[in-house]
Structures are given as C-alpha cells and as structure tokens.
Amino acid sequence: MAICSGRTVIITGAGGGLGRAYALAFAAEGANVVVNDIRQAAAEEVAREIRAAGGQAIANSDDITKLQSAQRIVDAALEVFGEVHVLVNNAGVLRDRMFISLSEEDWDTVMNVHLKGHYCLANILGRRWRDLAKVGTPVDARIINTSSGAGLQGSIGQSNYSAAKGGIASLTLVQAAELARYGVTANALAPAARTSMTENAMPDVVKKPEDDSFDAWAPENVAPLVVWLGSSQSKHVSGQVFESQGGRISLGDGWRTGVTRDKGARWQVGEVGAAVDQILAEAPKAQKVWGS
C-alpha cells in the first residue's frame, strides 16, 4: 500500500522546483495534495498533472504570511478532503545583498515569507490538532519545515536568508517539544537542489548534466525523504534537522554545549583570554560559512 494513502498534505511554494517535486511524490504515494503557490497558474498546472496521473489535488494561491489568508488554505483543504495531516512549509524568496547593503525592505521581505510564512499555517493547524487530541480524536500529524545550509552554517551575501533559515531550525525544535503530546511531529529539512532560487544564485553549480550521469541537483532526489517524513512510518522521528542533496541524507548536528572551562569562581578579565584560547584549541572546527 502507498505509505501516504488517505493522508492530506498542504505544500507551500508547490508550483515549481522542490515544492512541485514534493507534490508529485506525495500524490504518487496516495496523498491528497493541496498545491499552494502565490502563482495561481503554476499551482493549477501541478494540480492538473497530479489529477491526470490519477491522484487527488487542488490548487490554491492564498497568502501564507497572514493568518486570515492562511486560514483559507486550511479551509479549502478541509472542504475537499476532510482533514489535514501534513504541512510542508517550502515557499521562500531571496533578496541577496552583503549585510551592510541590505535595505529594510530586503530584510522584511525575507523574514515575512520564511519565518512568518512558517508560523501562520503551522499555528492554525497546530491549534486544530491540539483541539482534536484533547477531545480524544487520534492525531498523527506532521510539520515539515525548510531550513537551509545557509541557516545552519551561514552564507556570505545572505544574512537575511541565513537568519530566517536559522530561526526556522530553532522553531522546529520548539514545535517538536511542545506538540509531541498532541500526536504531532516537527522536523526540518535543509535541501540542496536546482530551483528557481538556486539557478539565479549559482547557475553554474546546479546546472543539469549534459550526459546521462546522475543529476545530483534534481529536486526529485529530495522528495522521498520528505514523503517519508510525512507518512505514518515516521512517527518516532521528531525535532530533527536533515540535510539532503543528490543521494545523500545527513543529520544536522545542532548547537550543543561544547568544550568547557569552569573555574568554580568568577573569572578575572586578565584570565579570560587564555581560557578561551584553550577552549578553541580543543573544540572541533566549525564548518565554514558558505562562500568563505
């Protein structure tokens, strides 16, 4: 049996790139798919493709960055499919500049789409799932967020994007801890694939191979992990950040308390430098900031 049979998934930014790949893959595994994209025509095209293959899908272009319009996305899913079991927060934008060249609009646009866009639908659905659990209705729900290597390691020229994606990773940890009691898991993905954003940012890196060799940047490579995380099979996995590119799945090793010096008393200013130097000498080296 298909692993998502009977489950309904909302996928944001699903009119192309990774979101489209996720939508097609979920449908192939039996899920009902709500294809959300600000570009109505793109959303309709993906929904038609799913239906033409025998799947169930509707298109939606409501704004994910406001609770009122995000509610309409959920309402549309409930009206057609009866329930929502999975949310894939995938939509995003770029406004790349060196930090001191960022305008306030560049900052706010990226924060609004990424961070607030991750808040609105998850907040609405989280409250729904909580209320169902409290009246004894079994809940087996999933939140799948989208972070980035830029959010985990930083990326030169992308301070706004890196900050938003780092915030999404932390948000995921808190969602997982708070929502577990209601039957909800939350995980995040840092995907690396060819999308309109990456083609604009690094076209030579993500271009499709000219021969028949493995296309390591194809968005379809990331989809199986996302579909599995959205299935009932993944209920034991929560609060994790995965990186995925090509044939690779990696677990993000997050911030944790590392090498320590404890004097057992207040440090004197003149002592701090030597202690910090010893800590840094013993600590594992951090991954480099992307672009450095």
The answer for residues whose C-beta is within 8 angstroms of residue 55's C-beta and 6 or more apart is 27, 28, 31, 33
Cα end-to-end distance, the chain, whole Å: 47
- Packing angle, helices 159-179 and 117-134, rounded to 10: 0
User: Which DSSP helix (H) or strand (E) runs through 158?
Assistant: none
Query: CA separation (Å) from 271 to 143, 155, 263, 267, 277?
Result: 46, 33, 10, 6, 11
| Residue of 22, 61, 147, 148 marked catalytic | 148
| Residue of 61, 159, 165, 244 marked catalytic | 165
Tell me if 291 sits within 8 A of 201, measured CB to CB: no
d(C-alpha 144, C-alpha 172), whole Å: 8
Is 182 noted as a catalytic residue in this protein?
no
Interior/surface letters 149-165, b for 16+ CB within 10 angstroms, e for the rest:
bbbbbbbebbbbbbbbb
d(C-alpha 284, C-alpha 287), whole Å: 9
Q: Which of 160, 223, 156 is nearest to 189 (CA)?
A: 223
Pairing type for strands 56-60 and 32-36 reads parallel
| Residue of 161, 231, 234, 238 marked catalytic | 161
Is 119 noted as a catalytic residue in this protein?
no
Place of tokens 């293959």: 53
Instruction: Return the active site residues.
Output: 148, 161, 165
